């Protein structure tokens, strides 16, 4: 639905941004369930990049966006890990063997030691845990890419979990499928009218929703745009607009370094005037309250104090 060379990613599920090496290590250990896991950067004091993670009952789907060369691995994992290079490049070493490029999908089996080296400016997707050994095949890449293209338009957390469950089932399927390397035919370009509308909603942060103006900008009638977007993405224009505002609040919560984040301020800046309604919408979309988003990162930081949980706003 978008340009196949650049899938949107998992920005709606941001967990870390401008974080320390210790936060990255603790986050990946928590997400992948291994206290032996190591995460090292060439420049320990410099920015590592951003980390997004969708956590579901099926497992976790992560996107690593690297700002410097990173090395991830060491300890064995109890289940299979699948990885895919979305942009950039990385190399994988299994059981102290030879490093080989990930092109574009690779897997680590249960009990295998591994080291994954990721180049600066790369985007790497991780999916864990998977039962048994998962063969890295072109069909797996197709499943992973399809998931990423759909992720920008998940209607809510329940929809995201259902899609994640389907992805896990497809990855654990033994079929190899036909050869495919980011085949354009698999992901036809989005209708130009719809693409213009989506870009306006997503990129113009100060724009106040107006369907008539949006339709005029896209080159379609209001009715046609409404049904086109609903058919192609599963969301109405207003629902996508609402989702984009929630994602921007989430980014501010993750980035916030103040002692007690003022959730109400961030919500109001994005036009959410009723805080109870905002908190309900936030939980519906992300599966957690705004305060839980903040707390998730705070628990990874040195000198974390449980005092935040009692002092934070009840949102």
- What CA–CA distance (Å, rounded) separates 82 from 105? 7
Q: Spell out the residues 6+ positions from residue 46 whose beta carbon is closer than 8 angstroms to its own.
A: 67, 68
The pTM of this model reads: 0.89
Domains of the chain with CATH codes: 11-183 (2.60.120.10), 190-231 (no CATH), 239-311 (no CATH)
Question: 20 or 161: which carries more pLDDT confidence?
Answer: 161
* Residue 186: band (very low, low, confident or very high) from pLDDT cuts 50, 70, 90: low
Closest CA relative to residue 187, chosen from 232, 241, 245: 232
Q: What is the pLDDT of residue 256?
A: 85
- What CA–CA distance (Å, rounded) separates 232 from 296? 34
> Token pair 């370009």 is at which residue?
189
Q: Spell out the residues 6+ positions from residue 277 whose beta carbon is closer than 8 angstroms to its own.
A: none
**Residue % of the chain over a pLDDT of 90:** 70
* Residue 182: band (very low, low, confident or very high) from pLDDT cuts 50, 70, 90: very low
Average pLDDT over residues 83-110: 94
- pLDDT tens, residue by residue, 148-166: 999 999 999 999 999 999 9
């Amino acid at each position: 639905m978008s340009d196949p060379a650049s899938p949107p990613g998992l920005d709606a599920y941001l967990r870390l941004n401008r974080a320390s090496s210790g936060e990255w290590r603790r986050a990946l250990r928590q997400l992948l369930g291994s206290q032996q896991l190591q995460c090292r950067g060439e420049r320990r004091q410099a920015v590592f990049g951003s980390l997004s993670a969708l956590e579901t009952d099926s497992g976790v789907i992560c996107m690593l966006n690297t700002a410097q060369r990173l090395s991830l691995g060491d300890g064995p994992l109890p289940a299979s890990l699948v990885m895919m290079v979305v942009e950039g490049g990385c190399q994988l070493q299994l059981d102290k063997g030879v490093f080989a490029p990930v092109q574009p999908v690779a897997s680590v089996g249960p009990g295998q030691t591994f080291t994954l080296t990721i180049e600066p400016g790369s985007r790497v997707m991780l999916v864990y845990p998977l039962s048994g050994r998962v063969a890295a095949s072109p069909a797996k890449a197709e499943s992973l890419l399809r998931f990423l293209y759909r992720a920008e338009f998940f209607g809510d957390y329940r929809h995201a979990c259902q899609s994640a469950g389907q992805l896990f089932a497809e990855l654990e399927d033994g079929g190899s499928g036909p050869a495919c390397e980011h085949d354009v035919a698999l992901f036809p370009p989005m209708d130009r009218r719809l693409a213009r509308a989506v870009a306006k909603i997503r990129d113009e942060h100060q724009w106040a929703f107006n369907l008539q103006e949006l339709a005029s900008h896209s080159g379609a009638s209001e009715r046609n745009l409404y049904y086109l977007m609903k058919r192609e993405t599963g969301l109405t224009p207003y629902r996508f607009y609402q989702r984009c505002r929630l994602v921007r609040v989430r980014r501010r919560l993750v980035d916030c370094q103040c002692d007690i984040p003022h959730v109400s301020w961030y919500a109001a800046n994005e036009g959410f005037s009723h805080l109870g309604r905002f908190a309900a919408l936030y939980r519906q979309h992300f599966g957690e309250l705004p305060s839980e988003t903040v707390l998730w990162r705070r628990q990874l930081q040195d000198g974390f104090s449980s005092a935040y949980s009692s002092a934070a706003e009840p949102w």
